[in-house]
Structure 1
Amino acid sequence: MHEISGFIKEVVDQTEVNLRRIHALGVKKVGIASLQPLGCLPRVTVVSSFHQCDEAMNAMMNLHNNLLNQVVAKLNNEAKQLTFVYLDYYNAFLSVFKNKGASLGSTRFETPLKPCCEGDCAIVDKKGVKKYTLCKDPKSAFFWNDVHPSQEGWSSVYSVLSKHLSESLIKA
């Protein structure tokens, strides 16, 4: 775990260097997205029949995101203005998973960690037989496949982020 923590710190340190370069070019606003809870991806949650996230993996995402948030705060403090906007994907995703999308709009994700497409999505064999199965209602799936949120999934995440995002980008 110590090696992974060191690697995460190196990644965030390099991100800080890159953000400083972008700011030096005169860019007025920069959105920096946190990592989503990768321990909740269907390719990870399949071992729990899509019911439980991998908390050890998510702890690594939290370490990265906490360090990144500290960098964003430090850079904004140095710039004496809100130049860098931290987009908290991690908690937005968890909010959708926890509420199953119910409080965010019309979409309801009964099993938010389960993908709509299972198997080798979009692959057919030589005879044209599908190597995958699709859910009955794709709009009811947060994830399209084992790693990518569906359009409905992203829409729900944006619903969580939208107020903060709008406020942060409008501020001078």
Structure 2
Amino acid sequence: MTTQIDSFNQVIQKNVYTLSDITNSIAYVSVAGNDYYDYMAIDGSLSGFPSFIESVIKQTTTNLIHLQSLGFKRIVVGDLQPLGCLPQATAQNSFQSCNSTFNDLVALRNNLMKQSITKLNQETKDHTTFTILGLFDSFRSVLNHPSSHNIKERLKPCCIGVSDEYTYGSVDSEHTTNKYLVCENLESTFFWDQLHPTQAGWNDVYNELEKRGLHQILY
């Protein structure tokens, strides 16, 4: 993210965007689930996860201050959705329940991020507002009350490999036969693949975000 912001600053220096463009825009910052899953993928340990989270929060906070220095007056940070409910985490129990350990770590991360945002808002001198986009609560509301959103399959993904050795989008060695299956009830399934919601799933999450004040963040 630091590199991306530096690259964006170079674009600003070339006058691609004016200061007015920046001050009237919203900067949305996302440190997504992949950043945390990658930690585990390279032999990270659960015991070391809290320290890793703290280091990510510290760097994210530095990046937010950098964005503020570029002229952004409205900076929105997405909190993490319940990663323990992603099919990638629930496959081990046949998509029956969320992984509470992962979700507890997500809760820790989100709480630390909220503390950082509160501190930034208290210390800012130029009327910049830092806001959390509540993805965690919005995802959880849909997943905890699927029937209220016409969701019949809340944890099992629509697109899945035909066996454990395959995943979504897999084909055979000759690239002639699909090695994945796609559900028939896409509109009532929350997850498309191991990580991403379906369009219907995102629509439900968006509606929950609207209930939680998305309009006030955007306008």
TM-score w.r.t. length of structure 2: 0.71
Q: Which of 162, 168, 172 is matched with 2:217 structurally?
A: 168
| Aligned counterparts of 1:153 and 1:48: Cα–Cα separation in 2 | 21
Matched, 1:18 2:63: yes
| Structure 2 SS opposite 1:124 | coil
> For residue 38 of structure 1, what is the aligned residue in structure 2?
83
Matched, 1:116 2:161: no
Displacement of 1:82 = 6.1
Deviations 1:80-123 (A, max 9, x none): 656111011111111000111x435xxx1112111000113233
> For residue 191 of structure 2, what is the aligned residue in structure 1?
143
Spell out the pairing of 1:16-165 with structure 2 (5 A cutoff): 16-79=61-124, 81=127, 83-100=129-146, 102-104=147-149, 108-119=150-161, 120-125=167-172, 126=174, 128-163=176-211, 164-165=213-214
Taking every aligned residue pair, what percent have the same amino acid on both sides?
Answer: 40
Gaps of 5+ in 1: none
| Structure 2 SS opposite 1:97 | helix
Q: Give the number of aligned pairs.
A: 166
| 8 Å CA contact 2:95, 2:155 repeated in 1 | yes
| Aligned counterparts of 1:127 and 1:36: Cα–Cα separation in 2 | 35
**Higher Rg of the two aligned structures:** 2
| Aligned counterparts of 1:11 and 1:73: Cα–Cα separation in 2 | 17
| 8 Å CA contact 2:151, 2:188 repeated in 1 | yes
| 8 Å CA contact 1:123, 1:132 repeated in 2 | yes
| 8 Å CA contact 1:116, 1:144 repeated in 2 | yes
| Aligned counterparts of 2:62 and 2:96: Cα–Cα separation in 1 | 38
| Aligned counterparts of 1:3 and 1:46: Cα–Cα separation in 2 | 24
| 8 Å CA contact 1:109, 1:141 repeated in 2 | yes
Higher relative contact order (CA 8 A, sep 6+): 1
| 8 Å CA contact 1:50, 1:111 repeated in 2 | no
| Aligned counterparts of 2:175 and 2:143: Cα–Cα separation in 1 | 38
| 8 Å CA contact 2:68, 2:128 repeated in 1 | no
Displacement of 1:128 = 2.1
Q: RMSD of the TM alignment (CA)?
A: 1.7
Q: Which runs of 4+ in 1 moved over 6 A?
A: none
Deviations 1:4-35 (A, max 9, x none): 11111110011111101101111011110011
| Aligned counterparts of 1:103 and 1:79: Cα–Cα separation in 2 | 41
Deviations 1:44-93 (A, max 9, x none): 11222212100001111111100001111111122265611101111111
